[in-house]
Structure formats: structure tokens, C-alpha cells
Amino acid sequence: MEVDDDLEAAMFATAAAASIVCNDNVAASFGSDDFVRIRKEDDAGAGISASPQPETHPHPAHTDHLVKSRQYYRDMVLGVNDGLVSTFLLVAGVVGGGMDVEATLLTSISGAIAGAISMFAGEYVATKSQNEVMKGEIKLEHEHITNYHQEEMKELSNLFSLIGIPGSSPHICHANVADSTAHSSNVTSSAKEARKLRQRMTQYYGSNPDALLKIMIALEFGVIDGEMRSPFVAGGSSLALFFVGSLPSVIPFVCVTDSISGLIASGIATAIGLFLVGAIKTWATRGNMWLAALENLLITAAGGGVAYGIGVGFQHLMSEG
């Protein structure tokens, strides 16, 4: 079953619910913006004009989310990182085995092409299979909503509690509540607002099967339309970036006449590439750039040493034979 394009409207209440978290300032969490927005929509539906609101400005520290392509970041990072690491390990192994420059160049090019095609095939099949599994789950969920509506509403009620909207006995953090009567009053008021929100959401989804399907897909499976992955995009990005990642281990052997010199140049170029991948990855993940780069470098250095040692050992074994 296909999900309609009006997902944003059906998921409005979910976005409001997700912002309700249990912290030291419960009144701020259950507060105002989400409920005011819902009340505005209710008033607009009833033909009641809203009073002008002062213009608000985003906080200076506000940072936009990665929305448009974040579901493909895994494929991008995997592709380029695998191209950098696996091609360098291949080169290190054959150089350790005594291959000359021409043979090493041919091997690295063949490995880059074969690896890129393999990445495309793997990501395409895996992504398509995952999408087919999800379509089957969505079809089953639609049947449940059609045939077992009350049971699905009970399940939705449990999901509301998990995302921070309490039921009749809400669980609220009581940090220092006894120290302030005003704070207790705010907590009580916020809990009432939360229950009203829960009632509105239950009424809305209970009377709208399409919206109920969408919110169950989002909360139960963690998927919305905008996060669905295209097999072609996933496979294509992995293919292209794997090939790009393999270039630091291929290009040096075009320019050198000694395979050891080519291996050293490949190692340096690969290390720079891994550092850049770590930097770009932490821009997306907002993590520690140096830690991510060091992690990549250590793994690749260890793997390169093992691959080179295997090549040297194989050469000695063959020479003795």
C-alpha cells in the first residue's frame, strides 16, 4: 500500500509529542509552543481569528538538521571508506608479495572496478530487499487497522506514553518540586495540557485511518516517506564513492618506477583521504573530527601491516618451494 503525500499534516501531532521530554523544567517541556500551535489549528478550523503574535527569531545557536540526504550518508561513508581501505590493503599485499609497478597498477585498477561494481550490487539488492520488507509490514499494518482498529488504538496509546505524553497517571520528573509551590502548580497545569493533547490526538487518529496508518508506521517502524531509500541512489553513491576512494592507491603507481615508493605514496595519500573522510563524517555527525580520523588511520594502518606481512610471507614461501 502506498502512503499518501499528506504525511506532514498527519504527523504534526507526533512532532509535538516528540518535543515533550522529562527534565528539570517540566513546564517548559509540556509548555506552550506545541499546545498553542494545536489550539491555533483548532481555532482556525472553527473560524476563530487569532490575535497577532509577536515575531520570533531563531536562537543564534540554531542549526538545521540534515534532512534531504541523511538516509544515504551510510552509503556515502561506507563507499568512500571501503574504497580507501580495501584498495590500499590490496596494494600493500601484492607489493609485499613482490609484484612490480605494472602488475600492481593493473591489480589496483582491477580491484577498484570490481569493488565499485560489487558495492553497487550489494547496496542495490540490500536496499531493495529492505524496502520490500517494509512494504510488506505496511500492508500488514493496514490490515490490522482495518480489521482490529481498537487493538491498534490501544497500541497507539502505549506509543504515546513512550514518546512522553502521559496517560491518566503521568510520570513526571519531580526535581525539587517540594521546594516551590509555584513549580508544583506549573507541573499540574502542564500535565493537564498533556492529557488534553493526548485526547485530541486519540480522537484525530481514531477517526482518520489513513493518518493512523502513517503515525503507526512512523512510531512502530521508525519510517516516513522522506526517509525511504532508493536502491539506485544507494547503489550509485556507493559505486561512485568507492571508486573515488580507491584512487589514492591507484594513481601513485602511474607516476613511480619502484613499487615500494608507490606503496609509500599510496599510504600517505590514503591517510590524507581517511582524515578528510573523518572530518566530513564528523561535520554530519557533529562528533570529534580528530578521534574519527585517528580511528580510521589506526584500522587502516593495522590492516595494511597485516596485508603486507601476508604478501611477504607468501613470497618467501613460494621462493623456498
Distance CA 313, CA 307 (A): 10
Alpha helices in the chain (DSSP H): 7-10, 12-18, 26-30, 33-45, 73-96, 101-147, 149-162, 181-206, 209-216, 231-250, 252-255, 259-285, 289-320
At 14 the pLDDT is 46
User: Do residues 114 and 242 make contact, with C-beta atoms less than 8 angstroms apart?
Assistant: no
At 205 the pLDDT is 86
At 8 the pLDDT is 40
Dihedral angle sign, alpha carbons of residues 101, 104, 106, 108: negative
Distance CA 212, CA 210 (A): 5
Burial 182-206 (b: 16+ CB within 10 A, else e): ebeebbeebbebbeebbebbbebbe
pLDDT tens track of the chain, all 321 residues?
Answer: 443 444 343 444 444 344 333 333 333 333 334 434 444 554 455 454 545 555 555 555 555 555 556 667 788 888 898 999 999 999 999 999 889 999 999 999 999 999 999 999 999 999 999 889 888 888 888 898 889 888 888 888 888 877 777 765 444 444 444 454 555 566 577 777 877 888 888 888 888 888 888 888 888 877 766 667 889 999 999 999 999 999 999 999 999 989 999 999 999 999 999 888 887 777 766 777 788 778 878 888 888 888 888 888 888 887 776
Dihedral angle sign, alpha carbons of residues 209, 211, 214, 220: negative
User: Do residues 250 and 119 make contact, with C-beta atoms less than 8 angstroms apart?
Assistant: no
Distance CA 107, CA 39 (A): 66
Alpha helices in 97-179 (DSSP H): 101-147, 149-162
At 10 the pLDDT is 41
- Specify the pTM: 0.64
Distance CA 95, CA 314 (A): 11
User: Do residues 266 and 245 make contact, with C-beta atoms less than 8 angstroms apart?
Assistant: no
| Alpha carbon 284 to its chain's center | 10
In this structure, what DSSP letter does residue 178 have? G
